[in-house]
Structure 1
Amino acid sequence: MSVNLSKGQKISLDKEAGTSLTRITMGLGWDSVKTKGFLGFGSKTESVDLDASCVLFDDSNKVSDIVWFRQLKSRDGSIVHTGDNRTGAGDGDDEQINVDLANVPAGVKSLVFTVNSFTGQNFSQVENAYCRILNASNNQEIARFNLSVQGAHTAQIMAKLYRHNGEWKMHAIGENGNGRTFDDLMPQITVHL
């Protein structure tokens, strides 16, 4: 059974999954809002390009690697982005980042997942947006975080996975921000490390 996360909530991934997790998938999904045409006739959907990113931090809270649409795999190969979706069209996850937790280097303390509107539209032009964590072994959803908070922000720091006493935990951050890439969010991200 999946946990619907609220802003600021922290959970143990192993406890929620009922098993020791070795591989997870972070899925991001969204739809563009349809706009009504003149006098209510016709409608159009403007493409919105949301991008999922994963920033890896070491024990000193310094960036050790980044996985995003311009670098689809971490240098060590433990984290892989499935590719850039530029429209949000279709059902299910539009972008996924797969994490092999057992092979994330020991020096990596936390993974921060962000979503940015690369095309610059704000979240009022997006609906049904979410991020979710799946047990990659059986595709069972462990946790879901609703991102469709309508507003003028163009980015969000979604969640942080971090090591604590030998297990991975998740902190649903859900903090709105602005910027076309994760780099624009770095001052906000460092507050949560």
Structure 2
Amino acid sequence: MAINLTKGQRIDLKKSTGATLTDFCVGVNWGGIESRGFLGLTKKVAEVDLDLSAVLLDSQGKLCDHIYSPLYKPELLAKFGLPAGKLMAAGGALKHTGDDRAGDSGGDDGLDNEIITVNLAGVPQNVGQIFFFLNNCGQEDFSQIPYAKIRMFEGTPTRVKDVFASYNVAAEAQYKNRRALIMGRLYRKGTEWKFAAIGDATEDVFVGQTVARIAQEYSNM
């Protein structure tokens, strides 16, 4: 049975069989913003462009690799000392499926809009933490987006075999003016990897701000 995570919860990557979870997908599913037209007879769905990203930090909390959209402007990234975006990190141990610029348009379809596959056995030894986060490329904030869910599952980007853990973010007033969301982190504890649900929403309007925030405020968790 999948673990329903709460904010701040930390878990071992141990399956019910006792085996360790090492190959899995981190997927995010979100919905477009629905509104009603004249007399409520018609429905409109505004597309929501969220970007799932990940940064890899070394044992000193320094950025050593990354996955974020190649569509981000290099000149803006350079202002934060960041390299161009890419969809693969750690020699292929992490891979991104690519951008989804709309979200679900007909309600929750149960499928993830963007996914990062993870092979922990292939992550270099100098990597101590991997943070997963979302940035909204539009003007909406997370109080308007009907749902955003992160989950870890065994399988492939096109086939879910077994959901290990999930974390839901509901549309709530506390997320007003918050356009980025630091969702969770994988971290080494001795020879093992563990996962912590973070769920902190921020006012960052660009991925560079979120990466800087993670390095400055979260690397010593």
Q: Calculate the TM-score normalised by the size of structure 2.
A: 0.81
Report how far residue 18 of structure 1 moved.
3.5
CA distance in 1, matches of 2:62, 2:16: 29
Report how far residue 127 of structure 1 moved.
1.6
1:36-115, aligned counterparts within 5 Å? 36-70=36-70, 71-74=86-89, 76-89=91-104, 91=109, 92-115=111-134
Which ranges in structure 2 are unaligned for 5 or more consecutive residues? 71-85
Report how far residue 145 of structure 1 moved.
0.4
CA distance in 2, matches of 1:174, 1:23: 23
Cross-structure match for 1:131: 150
Which of 162, 169, 178 in structure 2 is aligned with 1:140? 162
* SS at structure 2 position matched to 1:53: strand
Structure 1 vs Structure 2: percent identity of aligned residues?
36
Report how far residue 187 of structure 1 moved.
4.3
Report how far residue 75 of structure 1 moved.
5.0
Q: Which moved more, 1:170-179 or 1:142-151?
A: 142-151
Report how far residue 26 of structure 1 moved.
0.3
Aligned residues: 193
CA distance in 2, matches of 1:16, 1:144: 16
Cross-structure match for 2:218: 192
Q: Which moved more, 1:49-58 or 1:120-129?
A: 120-129
Contact 1:14-1:168 within 8 A present in 2 as well: no
CA distance in 2, matches of 1:182, 1:109: 21
CA distance in 2, matches of 1:148, 1:155: 14
Cross-structure match for 2:74: none
CA distance in 2, matches of 1:95, 1:180: 19
Report how far residue 115 of structure 1 moved.
0.7
Q: Calculate the TM-score normalised by the size of structure 1.
A: 0.92
Q: Kindly provide the amino acid, as one letter, of the partner of residue 25 in structure 2.
A: T
Cross-structure match for 1:176: 201
* SS at structure 2 position matched to 1:186: helix
Contact 1:130-1:144 within 8 A present in 2 as well: yes
Which of 156, 177, 180 in structure 2 is aligned with 1:155? 180
Stretches of 4+ moved more than 3 A in 1? Answer: 15-18
Which ranges in structure 1 are unaligned for 5 or more consecutive residues? none
Change (3 A) 1:136 1:105: farther
Q: Kindly provide the amino acid, as one letter, of the partner of residue 43 in structure 1.
A: K
Report how far residue 33 of structure 1 moved.
2.3
Q: Which moved more, 1:178-187 or 1:81-90?
A: 178-187
Report how far residue 3 of structure 1 moved.
0.7
* SS at structure 1 position matched to 2:214: helix
Contact 1:156-1:177 within 8 A present in 2 as well: yes
Report how far residue 129 of structure 1 moved.
1.4
* SS at structure 2 position matched to 1:39: helix
RMSD between aligned residues = 1.8
Contact 2:144-2:171 within 8 A present in 1 as well: no
